[in-house]
Amino acid sequence: MKHLVSAILVISFAIGGCAAFEAPSGHKRNSGDGEEGVDVGNIRTESMIPNTRVVMSHPNWVETKKGNSLILQNRLLQSGDPSSKLSTMKCEAVDIDNTAPTFFDLKEYVKKTHPNQEFQSYDFGDFYGLRFNATANTEIAIAQIYFVRTSEARHILSCELNLNKYAEGLEIGEEILRSSRIKYLGVEKLGEIDRTIELDHENKIEKGRSVYFVNGHCYEEDENGNENFDCLLDSVGISYGNSWSEDSLEVGLAGSATGRFLDLGKVEYDDVQIKGEYLYARGVKTELSDIYTVFSTKGPMERKDEVFLQEGHTYLLRTQEWPNEDLLVKIHVDKLESMKRVSLTYKILAEIPKPTLRKLVDEMNTYTRENEMTRNHGAVTLYSRQIWGDNVSATFNFEFGTRDNYDITYNTWDILFESNERVSTFSFPGSWQDRGTIVEYTGEKAITEVVKEDFPTLMSAVNHGDVPVKVGSKYLMIGSTYDNKVTFGAFEVVEIAANNAWVRLNWRRVALEPLWHFQDWILRNVDDSVKNLSLEFGSDKSISFHLALEKTYDELVDEEWSETLDFGYYSDGLNLDVGTRYFPGESGFLKYDGALEDLDSTNLPTEGFSENVSSVQVGEKYIVVIETLWERTRAIIEIVGVTSERIEFRYRLLAVDQTNPPYYRVP
């Protein structure tokens, strides 16, 4: 048996990404009228490597699957031909003990597994690679190849090649290799119609409507300026005029919602369509497959979540907010009044069905739970948010040991890497409600030796950032976010790119503990008299009220952010909610039968509270405790009257405490 010399190939895929596919010479794609089209995920002659979503296109090869292996063989051999002329590819997934393996991890892997071999760069499409060849002639290619994909599941994929020139085996085998991609699972969305909308420039038209949700076919606000809450929940928004000086259209306005535009120029809008199994656009010179790429470490890539509109142009848009949405949409600019208003016609072309998205996210979460959370240390490469235009690949979560899984982490992170060509920083990217900080560690211990006592206190974790990035330096992170836990994480900088585009870290999860009452409270003076109040519900039949400041949510300004008491009138009557996530059972609502004047802050119950109550009746009274990591409000309320239009209640403020030091945005 011939000795196989190793070749290494790294492929960095985006979630749901798709690399361009070109049919091998002499073999027609089965695309009907879509000869100029680009695959949207349903090529008949493709095979998937087991336990992955990596697919390879092979118009004339036979597929066999044995265990975790995919075997492809050239089937053009005639009866009686010698087996030595057979071309074969065997590919399978191999795990590596790392977090989101990258090109750097690949180099280390090659050095360990093939210490005596020289390897060369072998890049194609969006993929990185290193390649060895066992042969140096034009008749046969013998090699072993490894793939790695970073954004969805952390496998190295091993492929053994034995390609023969006979029956185009050598040529087609290389083209099969270059066709590798993550399968896009979208299907044509039937029954869709063209819709025309108008958007007002966000920064130039006062009280205009600048935000629209394509999947829900609705504006962010109705004609009266009230938010369409039902539309906002499961749909990715587009916004016109986010730039003060440009006619920009942006996709992905918050959280994990994201997307990508592609400018097709002045092509006929009606010529952009799904034909059979392909996305088709007559006369387009742009590589349509670019619409599938959301993040690639091949960059820094051109930012595509924002385009600058031109009248008469047609655009492709892919929206993503897994597991709720993944759409392909075409958009035409009908009329553009620069810096004022734009008229757009759009149509949804394809979607990944929600059950499929849910399955993909479940697979991603299973991988994190079984492979990433089980490690308490590892290595990770973060890519600058400014340079790559991607938030998830610039962040890391210690609890789950993941860089890319925004679902299981609820899009909350412990490290954020930001940079430009002159400076780079780390920061704790929590929201204003969270406690957390990153500090440089100047002690003599290695990150494998630090203990909780070496960390700053959670009480002092006021400043969320920024600390400069320095090669060789060690850092400590302490933070508490959405899940009532406190995370202690240590990391060190191994390497940083010359242009600050990426940074490579070694990390360790030192401890993960339940949140405790760490606050040092300062009692504020309050007016504890009984007050009467009547509030009108909004269009969504709800209203939020800040007890300590005696303001509704709409009356609060940035410096007054805090938890509020929320009233809602729904099908089951009046509901109360505080939305608190901290110290379950110790904050929220507790039914009370005494007089409002009989309680004070010294004799309040300390357990048995519920975060929300429903079907509240007139005359009922509740003790209310709203505790965040920054402040604590204690009060008592009595419901006096309620209709579908308004709520009337009496309340008495018992105490308001704030931490010391306070958060700088809380009064």
- pLDDT on residue 558: 54
Output the furthest CA–CA distance in the chain (Å, rounded). Answer: 100
Mean pLDDT lowest among 69-78, 324-333, 629-638: 69-78
Question: CA 651 to CA 533: how far, in whole Å?
Answer: 8
Q: Residue 34: CB partners within 8 Å, gap ≥ 6?
A: 275, 276, 277, 278, 279, 280
By the 10 Å C-beta count (0-12 exposed, 13-18 middle, 19+ buried), 535 is classed as: middle
Does the pLDDT value for residue 43 go beyond 70? no
Angle at 104 between CA 412 and CA 257, to 5 degrees: 30
Grade residue 80 by pLDDT with cuts at 50, 70 and 90: low
For the chain, give the number of residues.
Answer: 667
Cα gap 577→475, rounded to integer Å: 39
Kindly indicate the confidence band of residue 148, based on its pLDDT and cuts at 50, 70 and 90.
low
Which of 38-42, 124-128, 551-555, 592-596 shows the lowest mean pLDDT across its residues? 38-42
Grade residue 648 by pLDDT with cuts at 50, 70 and 90.
very high
Confidence of residue 153 (pLDDT cuts 50, 70, 90): very low
Q: Give 300-332 pLDDT, tens digit per residue.
A: 445 578 899 999 999 999 998 888 999 999 999
The yes-or-no verdict on residue 337 having pLDDT over 70 is yes
Measuring CA to CA, which residue among 39, 15, 35, 19 is closest to residue 27? 35
Is pLDDT of 411 > 60?
A: yes
Per DSSP, the three-state class of 477 is strand
The structure tokens listed for 58 are 């092979």
The amino acid that residue 372 corresponds to is E
Higher pLDDT, 301 or 244: 244
pLDDT digits (tens, 9 = 90+) for 545-592: 888 888 887 787 655 556 778 888 887 789 999 877 788 889 899 999
pLDDT for position 463: 72
- Which 8-state DSSP code applies to residue 378? E
Higher-confidence position of 371 and 663: 371
Mean pLDDT of 64-92: 80
Burial of 40 (0-12, 13-18, 19+ CB in 10 A): buried
pLDDT tens per residue across span 44-63: 467 888 887 778 877 778 88
Instruction: Grade residue 364 by pLDDT with cuts at 50, 70 and 90.
Output: confident
| Rounded (10°) CA dihedral 227, 232, 238, 243 | 50
Tell me the mean pLDDT in the region 220-238. 77
Arithmetic mean of pLDDT over the chain: 81
For the segment 476-503, the average pLDDT, to the nearest whole number, is: 91
Return d(Cα 426, Cα 396) in angstroms, integer.
Answer: 11
Structure tokens at 190: 């039937």
Task: Give the helix, strand, coil percentages of the chain, each rounded to 5.
Answer: 10, 40, 45
Whether 4 has a pLDDT exceeding 60, the answer reads no
What pTM did the predictor assign? 0.77
**pLDDT confidence of residue 308:** 93
Q: What is the mean pLDDT of residues 205-231?
A: 82
With a pLDDT cut of 90, the percent of the chain lying above it is 36
Output the CA torsion sign for 555, 557, 559, 564: positive
Q: How far apart are CA 590 and CA 142, in angstroms?
A: 73
Of 466, 471, 467, 465, the closest CA to residue 500 belongs to 471
> How far is CA 442 from each of CA 424, 445, 447, 615, 660, rounded to the nearest angstrom?
19, 9, 11, 56, 26
Helix (H, G, I), strand (E, B) or coil at 77: coil
Q: Half-sphere exposure of residue 72, counting CA atoms within 13 Å on the CB side?
A: 27
SS3 label, residue 230: helix
Average pLDDT over residues 193-212: 89
Residue 82 has pLDDT above 80, yes or no: no
Alpha carbon separation from 599 to 578, 623, 634 (Å, rounded): 21, 9, 11
The pLDDT of residue 638 is above 90:
yes
**185-194, 225-234, 403-412: which has the minimum mean pLDDT?**
225-234
User: Per-residue pLDDT for 666 more than 70?
Assistant: no
Residue whose tokens read 């794609």: 29
Give the separation between CA 661 and CA 525, rounded to whole angstroms: 17
> Distances in Å between the alpha carbon of 507 and those of 66, 186, 428, 439, 498?
37, 37, 15, 14, 22
* Alpha carbon of residue 134 to chain centroid: 41
Q: What is the dihedral of CA 475, 476, 477, 478, to 10 degrees?
A: -170
**609 vs 524 pLDDT, higher one:** 609
Whole-number Å distance between alpha carbons of 327 and 347: 10
Q: What is the C-alpha separation between 658 and 497, in angstroms, rounded?
A: 43
Confidence of residue 234 (pLDDT cuts 50, 70, 90): low
What is the band of 67 on the pLDDT scale with cuts at 50, 70, 90? confident
Least confident range of 208-222, 268-282, 355-369, 548-562: 548-562
Most confident of the following: 106-110, 243-247, 403-407, 574-578: 574-578
